[in-house]
Structure 1
Amino acid sequence: MPETLQPFLHDLELVFRAPTQAWSERDGQIRAATAGPGAPGASVCGVMHSDVRVLSEAILAVDGREPEPAGSWRDDDGRLVAVGLPRHVDGPGADPTARVLRARRVEAGLVEEEIELACATAEPVTAVVSVALAADFATMEAVKSGYATAPLAAVPAEGGLAWASAGGAVGEVTAVVEAPGAVVDLTDPARPVLRWTLTAAPAEPARASWRLAAEDRAAVVRGAAGPAPEAWCVPRPTADVRLARFLDQSLRDLAGLRMSLPALPGREFLGAGAPWFFTLFGRDSLWAARFLLPLGTELAEGTLAVLASFQGKRADVESQEEPGKIMHELRRAALTLHGENLSLPPIYYGTVDATPLWLCVLHDAWRAGMPDDAVERLLPRAERALAWVAAGVRDGYLTYLDTSGHGLANQGWKDSGDAVQFRDGRLAAGPISLCEVQAYAYEALVHGAELLEAFGRQGSDSLGTAPSQLRDAAAALAARFRGDFWLEDALGPYVAIALDGDGVPVDTVTSNMGHLLGTGLLSAAEEALVARRLVEPELDSGFGLRTLATSSAGYWPLKYHGGSVWAHDTAIAIRGLVLSGHSAEAARLAEGLLKAAESFEYRMPELHSGDPADGPGRVSRALPYPAACRPQAWSAASAVVVAGALGKL
């Protein structure tokens, strides 16, 4: 068993507002450790601000004992409300006649908690309510890797106490706690305690509160300044209560994931997901913005502009930067995940698909009503991106290969080390040419030519970006693809996930082929073949598409990209099915995602198990992938795709 394990998330509660997130157990307690084999001392619980855990413990007690949990929920204001029963201060009898209510609210850089002691006893109840705190200032990668870290010493501050980082990997981060009316006990500076003596009487509850303010002077992202787009806030009544709840919860979550850059405060994008991806990601932010285009173009405009500001200018092996390329992820510092031979610079370009996707979203946003002047400002960046795509497909395909030795081995959306494998379980060797990336490239070339012509731009003959050259390159790509990627098995024709470094088709049946629909790469007849294959039981779990079909040796329902279900992946296929005229198949997959959302109280996780809803081994509800982020931007945005496919948007 490994020394450390990534913490599970599925049984935890979250309150968040980018770039701040508060994770706790369901009873509201923020514990520094959770019990579990293989992960002693490891927990994600705490308050994370800008990829630093500024609070690792907040344990409430009444007269020195934790109240027994009685339930928790998220209220209409997004707060986590937890109820505890301190039965040791009750009156006589079986009825619990005292209770503690704890309500936690999060804003950018701020966590506020209100505590209420109430009773129905014959006499008033007086008790000491305490909150024991700790702060370890662990980096996100240390938390994700399952490392237990020692708490730092707090110091007195006006109205409370404070912690400050000592530099190093964390940089200049501070956390200040204010606790009106509390006695602040710093006997053990590493484990300070806030104490209030409260007296509650029937119909006269007693209250206390504390708040934490966090600041990171090295932050590269920050929370959005203004409100969410108005279209996100309009209730959408529908006869299907599940769909209404899915849309409502998803749009609330998306509002909380809105971010901006300090240098571009008016340009918003979506952080990819909590807790590990609370920052700008190329493909994730682009797909989420694309899904949300039916609700307006503001988010797409901001996402495109922010990513354009990081567009590659030079060739660099370490960061995988190349001229014209769109970046993969942005961090406050280098990202090193222990035990994974992974070390990424703060701005990392190791993605093969973000550049064509950027072009596709620019075109779609223009068609959806993005102002012409906003589009025109981005066209010089579009021409550079088109040059990168055109160069990649000039004689072959868009491929990837990590040449740094410590970057992402796989650079499509399925980026785990075993994501591209043959049906017998062998891993494919690079350079890898993914099927869906060629579809994005085809679409980018054709729509890029359309954009240039619409705005009177000629492109560059020398770079291969003249509109006629782009269309010719797209047609040649489609012809090559048709000859190289199609395979057949007992169930009929299908598209290989990729070609390996020798040009051999990787013969597993995967969800990737769903991304080809509606891009123009396939003929109508070919799209019909893909549509039929997507709803075969080997791929369609009944709760969404499996990433890898059950016919593969490497299949397992709890493998990250080897049999699990990703909501956004299924949503891309649904979107393509609608665009290509396969509405029945689209509705079937949409219904599956809706059933999955119901299983997770409509806060759709990053991914879930690929166990079947019907047939042998069936489960009655979608099962969690325990380490999945929740919420995840593109998973939440899939609600809009589902609503559209079901004719409710």
Structure 2
Amino acid sequence: MANHDLHAHVTCVAAPATWLSGPSGQLTGGADGLYVEDRRVLARLEVTVDGVAVAARDVRRTGAASAVFADVRGNLAIARNRLAEPLGGTETISLANKAGEPRVVTLAVAAATDFATTGAVRDGSTVDIVPLLAEVRSGDGMSVRLDATPAPDEAGDALRWTVTLAPGAQWTVELRFTRTDVPPIPRAKRFSTLRVAAGDARLDALVRTGVQDLDALRRGDLYYSAGSPWYLTLFGRDALWSARLALPLGTDVAAGTLRTLAARQGTATPHDDSAQQGTSGRQDTSAQQGTSGRQDTSAQQGSSSRHDTLYTGETEEEPGRIPHEIRREDAAHRLPPVYYGTVDATALFVCTLADAYRWGMRPDAVEALLPAAEAALAWLAGHGGLVTYRTTGAGLTHQGWKDSADGIQFADGRVASGTLALCEVQAYAYQAFREGAGLLDAFGRPGAERWRSAAADLADRFRAAFWCPGGYPALAVTGTGEQVDAVASNMGHLLGTGLLSPAESAAVAGWLTRLRSPFGLRTLAQSSAGYDPGSYHAGSVWPHDTAIALLGLARDGHRKEAAALVGALLDAAGRFDSRLPELYGGDDAATPYPAACRPQAWAAAAGPALLVALLGLDVDIPAGRVTFDPLTPSPVGAFRVRGLKVADGLLDVSVSADGAVTVHNGPVGVAFLLADGTPAKIGSTSAG
């Protein structure tokens, strides 16, 4: 992979588009660019005034999709207003004369594209650029258009305008960059009005920024794209976790995510030739990704280099399996366009469906997805015991969320290989069996006892195989029964799933304190030989990982430990302008990880998830109740949450610093209870 430093980049997102540049505003190379559907629409954008490059002195994001770059040269003010849109974006350049006499300036814009895939950019294997003056087309059919209003005075190696500015006058040109070979994509509308006012204002900023980023990463009402720039598409695990963590924003995205993944759920058996080609006789990815078949990538206009969008290996599709990622065929890189190599998304599918049902997803929509849930449960049961995957050298090395080559390792630093059962996957599967059984009962479908029995059997196998002599669960167990004995954050995902006894839960909570940095949970303990705080999965901090553990701690009653992680994430948010990245260094400085996606959906969803933990929120709409058991004393002081969506209503609730709950407004027909079963106080709807 090429060395990319995205931390200082200004990123504007409107899925499936993302626009990145350094703080100068110029697009000059590396990962800079405007991307749509995993292809680079704009690789270079250099603006000059009177032959001198415009380098912004002041930069500010004005939203998840927009930013302003401003410069002043004597009496000439220059502003570049950038806006990402689903098919591309616009940049509006304004020149303002602050002098008392007329001024004549020459504005030049040099733009170019290279049609590169995000995978090729990430690898550093890009090709020659093609000047963009009007519309250009690649050999594989991708096309990009530049529209300028007003039209330039000349268009040679660049677009040029000679502008005469009267005293105090302003002149503006709009540049619109559009990918024209894909169908229209509607811009996602603002989805949530969730907001919070807390004694610790960092919580307000984190939630507000996270909600904006989730809106920007949302593909219509279907799902959250995983992250910008490398993963701005559908990833099964990421989309499901993001939807679960963001349920305080409503169930619509969870429902869309589940429907979209169910439509791509595996049906082909392993080694089916059609499955290996990613087609399997089923619907094409155009249903979600806007393409209609693989395109020839052998040539490009203006370049003799071949675009490397080849992929190798099997799709790993199996009946009932939920896919890992889906990309347009013209953007696939290293992996097939539809790739199923994930061991956890299938269990998470069932868990997400059950969570969404409790939060108020329409019963008919839930019932329509029960066949997919049953197929998912059958896939889990098909492992015949612990749920495993095998490292084969094809596709991804590891198939859990720590999917880097060294993501699963022993305490002595050896990298695990062969057949592996991850600890958190067993917890997901246990929860899926239990929750799946509950759904079948709720809708009068047979089979629930089979899955309860499967859950009990899995719990017994887990206890026999995973508990290390030190009194903590192994990161994984190999096919020969050897425990991968590293102390790792994965154990935090076991909490709140029901898999652990109270004593086991308390033990895990204690071990997590050893993984805690000032800014979240380290993915690997400092005592491990392979610990590296600047690595991807061997010592770094991932906000979503911390948020999942935090929720589990709160659910299992480990309130002090949960409160400490709330503070850690808020401290991290303060280091990253409230826009938490995909990951950061697991040291005492929250060191930026250079190539981290930012925004990343499940990191953005950490804000709404914090509110669930702070409120101790347990929503069960089918049972007609919402229960509160807030963290006390509150680690953020007194706070009030408005616009939290439950079923078809909005919840407005405040919590005092000592934990007293007052419900100001909420959905009709729901009982609001405290943890001891007594009714919550009902207060005024006026501002407080």
Q: TM-score range by the shorter chain?
A: 0.7 to 0.9
Q: Give the share of equivalent positions with the same residue, in percent.
A: 46
Question: Equivalences for 1:559-570 in 2 at 5 Å?
Answer: 559-570=535-546
One-letter amino acid matched to 1:309: A
* Deviation of 1:76 (Å): 4.9
| 2:583 paired residue number | 607
| 1:37 paired residue number | none
- Contact persistence 1:184–1:195 (CA under 8 A): yes
Question: Equivalences for 1:286-297 in 2 at 5 Å?
Answer: 286-297=240-251
Structure 2 vs 1, CA of residues 290 and 544 (structure 1 numbering), >3 Å: closer, same or farther? same
One-letter amino acid matched to 1:235: R
Question: Equivalences for 1:348-497 in 2 at 5 Å?
Answer: 348-392=339-383, 394=384, 396-403=385-392, 405-458=393-446, 466-489=447-470, 493-497=471-475
| 2:477 paired residue number | 499
Question: Equivalences for 1:539-554 in 2 at 5 Å?
Answer: 539-554=515-530
Deviations 1:338-375 (A, max 9, x none): xxxxx311100000000010000111111111111011
Taking the aligned partners of 2:371 and 2:185, their CA distance within structure 1 comes to: 28
| 2:618 paired residue number | none
* Deviation of 1:471 (Å): 1.1
Taking the aligned partners of 1:77 and 1:498, their CA distance within structure 2 comes to: 38
Structure 2 portions without partners, runs of 5+: 272-313, 616-638, 642-688
SS in 2 for 1:586: helix
Q: Do residues 281 (structure 1) and 262 (structure 2) align?
A: no
Q: Do residues 558 (structure 1) and 523 (structure 2) align?
A: no
- Contact persistence 2:475–2:486 (CA under 8 A): yes
Q: Do residues 178 (structure 1) and 166 (structure 2) align?
A: no
SS in 1 for 2:26: coil
One-letter amino acid matched to 2:248: P
Of 346-355 and 130-139, deviating more is 130-139
**CA RMSD, Structure 1 to Structure 2 (Å):** 1.8
Deviations 1:318-356 (A, max 9, x none): 11111011110001127776xxxxx31110000000001
One-letter amino acid matched to 2:338: I
Match of 2:111 among 109, 123, 133: 133
| 1:9 paired residue number | 6
Taking the aligned partners of 2:64 and 2:399, their CA distance within structure 1 comes to: 38
- Contact persistence 1:412–1:434 (CA under 8 A): yes
SS in 1 for 2:164: strand
SS in 1 for 2:572: helix
SS in 2 for 1:100: strand
- Contact persistence 1:18–1:224 (CA under 8 A): no
Taking the aligned partners of 1:549 and 1:437, their CA distance within structure 2 comes to: 20
Taking the aligned partners of 1:378 and 1:120, their CA distance within structure 2 comes to: 62
One-letter amino acid matched to 1:400: Y
- Contact persistence 2:86–2:187 (CA under 8 A): no
Normalised TM-score (structure 2): 0.81
Match of 1:214 among 142, 165, 179: 179
Deviations 1:289-339 (A, max 9, x none): 0011122111111111100000110123411111011110001127776xx
Taking the aligned partners of 1:111 and 1:608, their CA distance within structure 2 comes to: 29
Q: Do residues 163 (structure 1) and 139 (structure 2) align?
A: no
* Deviation of 1:184 (Å): 6.2
Structure 2 vs 1, CA of residues 335 and 484 (structure 1 numbering), >3 Å: closer, same or farther? farther
Of 306-315 and 581-590, deviating more is 581-590
One-letter amino acid matched to 2:573: A
Taking the aligned partners of 1:533 and 1:368, their CA distance within structure 2 comes to: 31
- Contact persistence 1:508–1:548 (CA under 8 A): yes
| 1:194 paired residue number | 159
Of 473-482 and 305-314, deviating more is 473-482
| 1:572 paired residue number | 548
The total of aligned residue pairs comes to 575
Taking the aligned partners of 1:589 and 1:109, their CA distance within structure 2 comes to: 39
Question: Equivalences for 1:217-296 in 2 at 5 Å?
Answer: 217=182, 223=185, 226-229=188-191, 232-260=192-220, 267-296=221-250
* Deviation of 1:69 (Å): 2.9
- Contact persistence 1:283–1:354 (CA under 8 A): yes
SS in 1 for 2:212: helix
Structure 2 vs 1, CA of residues 500 and 248 (structure 1 numbering), >3 Å: closer, same or farther? same
| 2:81 paired residue number | 103
- Contact persistence 2:7–2:596 (CA under 8 A): yes
Q: Do residues 313 (structure 1) and 267 (structure 2) align?
A: yes
Of 48-57 and 479-488, deviating more is 479-488
| 1:157 paired residue number | none
Deviations 1:457-492 (A, max 9, x none): 11xxxxxxx211211111111112112111244xxx
- Contact persistence 1:390–1:445 (CA under 8 A): no
- Contact persistence 1:269–1:285 (CA under 8 A): yes
* Deviation of 1:152 (Å): 2.1
Taking the aligned partners of 2:163 and 2:96, their CA distance within structure 1 comes to: 10
Name the structure, 1 or 2, with higher relative contact order (CA <8 Å, separation 6+): 2
SS in 2 for 1:508: coil
Structure 2 vs 1, CA of residues 442 and 334 (structure 1 numbering), >3 Å: closer, same or farther? farther
- Contact persistence 1:574–1:590 (CA under 8 A): yes
- Contact persistence 1:184–1:194 (CA under 8 A): yes
- Contact persistence 2:85–2:187 (CA under 8 A): no
Normalised TM-score (structure 1): 0.86
Structure 1 portions without partners, runs of 5+: 34-42, 91-96, 155-159, 261-266, 338-342, 459-465, 613-618
